[in-house]
């Protein structure tokens, strides 16, 4: 509970007693959660845009290997290879 009180009220601009929750403490927490969420979403978007071409190349390579494998092993058909 003390950690929540510190997160809600222990801000540099918290007032005389910075460990006491302030009225705007909940707003600060919501703002912090919002900024963190945007940070995570932007990071995921950037990571995805960087890795997407590599993933497409890997998918093509896997499909080519699977096709080659099924050609070499005639006893297998597409039903057994997902």
* pLDDT 10s digits, 33-46: 999 999 999 999 99
| Sign, CA torsion 27/28/31/37 | negative
DSSP structure class, residue 9: H
What is the pLDDT, as a whole number, of residue 66? Answer: 87
- Convert the pLDDT of each residue in 20-30 to its tens digit: 555 678 888 99
Q: Which residues of 59-77 are buried (b: 16+ CB within 10 A; e: fewer)?
A: eeeeeeeeeeeeeeeeeee
Domain parsing of the chain, residue ranges: 2-72
What is the pLDDT, as a whole number, of residue 48? Answer: 94
8 Å CB contact between 14 and 22: yes
């Amino acid at each position: 509970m003390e950690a929540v009180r510190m997160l809600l009220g222990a801000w540099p601009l918290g007032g005389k007693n910075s460990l006491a929750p302030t009225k705007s403490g909940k707003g600060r927490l919501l703002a912090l959660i919002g900024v963190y969420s945007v940070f995570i979403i932007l990071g995921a978007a950037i990571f995805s845009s960087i890795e997407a071409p590599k993933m497409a190349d890997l998918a093509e390579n896997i499909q080519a290997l699977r096709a080659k494998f099924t050609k070499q092993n005639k006893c297998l058909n597409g039903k057994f290879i997902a």
